[in-house]
């Protein structure tokens, strides 16, 4: 996929998980502990007991009922198939040495973070208001994409935090341009705010800066979140019943999956309505 200048930009499908092309990396590489999100303990590098030999989940259609809510809100943004088919050229972690498998497990979360950044950069390039910085966004998108294609040994030691800082500067500028004239005032500058359980029913949060805000179990029923910046906001159990998130910036599928909603919840085209939301 190329933009209007001919610059390569990752196609949306390349930034979405394709489990059929992945070796079940999220089910092996990542650790989790028995909690409200996971029914069991699992160490990093150890296959989940529900992972089948064909790399598919044996209880995929029953994850929530079986106590694996955490799996339903996870998205690798296409990193799984990139690591499986590009970085390791189709060689399964089950084959080869244990050292090679461990390298794959180390590389996967790194590429996952890079793909998440690509997801945000791609969205920023679609914002007409951010056109003044599109050239910079394209360059950063190209640079980040090139990083995902480095050798496994290089990826394993990559300083992702440094890359994230550089990208974040541009994403913040894109957000400010997109929200210009909206959400003015101190009440709408809620970056990193602790809003756990907050009663925000019907709140006017148009253009609000909610980057990294903790909105766990907050009541946003009927709230107006149009063009609000939600990058990194924690929406676990957030009630979005009848809320309007039209044009919400940097909202991802995992965030939506972690929240509660209804048929009246309005979402941006970049995400889909979760099947577990109230019918």
Q: Residue-wise pLDDT tens for the chain (279 aa)?
A: 555 555 556 665 689 999 999 999 999 999 999 998 999 999 999 999 999 999 999 999 999 999 999 999 999 999 999 999 999 999 999 988 899 999 999 999 999 999 999 999 999 999 999 999 999 999 999 999 999 999 999 999 999 999 999 999 999 999 999 999 775 555 588 999 999 999 999 999 999 999 999 999 999 999 999 999 999 999 999 999 999 999 999 999 999 999 999 999 999 999 999 988 876
pLDDT at 84: 96
Residue 233's nearest CA partner among 214, 250, 247, 216 is: 214
Residue 55's nearest CA partner among 26, 34, 78, 75 is: 26
For 266, list phi and psi in degrees, rounded to 5: -100, 125
pLDDT at 96: 81
d(CA 226, CA 203): 11
For 183, list phi and psi in degrees, rounded to 5: 55, 30
Other CB atoms within a 10 A radius of the CB of residue 52 amount to 13
Q: What's the pTM value of the predicted model, to 2 decimals?
A: 0.91
Tell me the CA distances in angstroms from 110 to 6, 10, 154, 169, one per residue in order: 28, 17, 11, 20
Spatial contact of 247 and 229, defined as CB atoms under 8 Å apart: no
CB contact set of 53 (below 8 Å; sequence gap of 6+): none
């Amino acid at each position: 996929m190329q933009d209007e200048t001919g610059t390569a930009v990752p196609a949306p499908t390349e930034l979405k998980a394709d489990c059929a092309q992945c070796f079940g990396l999220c089910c092996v590489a990542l650790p989790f502990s028995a909690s409200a999100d996971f029914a069991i303990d699992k160490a990093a590098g150890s296959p989940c007991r529900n992972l089948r030999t064909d790399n598919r989940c044996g209880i995929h259609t029953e994850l929530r009922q079986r106590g694996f809510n955490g799996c339903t809100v996870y998205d690798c943004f296409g990193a799984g198939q990139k690591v499986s088919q590009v970085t390791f050229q189709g060689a399964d972690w089950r084959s080869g040495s244990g050292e090679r498998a461990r390298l794959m497990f180390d590389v996967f979360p790194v590429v996952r973070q890079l793909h998440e950044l690509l997801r945000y950069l791609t969205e920023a390039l679609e914002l007409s208001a951010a056109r003044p910085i599109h050239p910079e966004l394209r360059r950063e998108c190209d640079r980040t994409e090139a990083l995902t294609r480095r050798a496994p040994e290089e990826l394993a030691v990559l300083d992702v935090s440094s890359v994230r800082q550089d990208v974040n500067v541009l994403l913040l500028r894109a957000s400010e341009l997109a929200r210009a004239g909206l959400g003015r005032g101190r009440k709408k500058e809620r970056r990193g705010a602790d809003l756990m359980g907050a009663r925000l029913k019907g709140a006017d949060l148009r253009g609000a800066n909610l980057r990294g805000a903790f909105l766990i179990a907050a009541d946003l029923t009927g709230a107006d979140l149009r063009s609000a910046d939600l990058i990194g906001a924690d929406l676990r159990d957030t009630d979005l019943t009848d809320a309007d998130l039209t044009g919400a910036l940097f909202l991802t599928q995992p965030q939506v999956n972690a929240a509660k909603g209804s048929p009246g919840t309005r979402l941006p085209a970049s995400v889909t309505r979760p099947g577990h939301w109230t019918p």
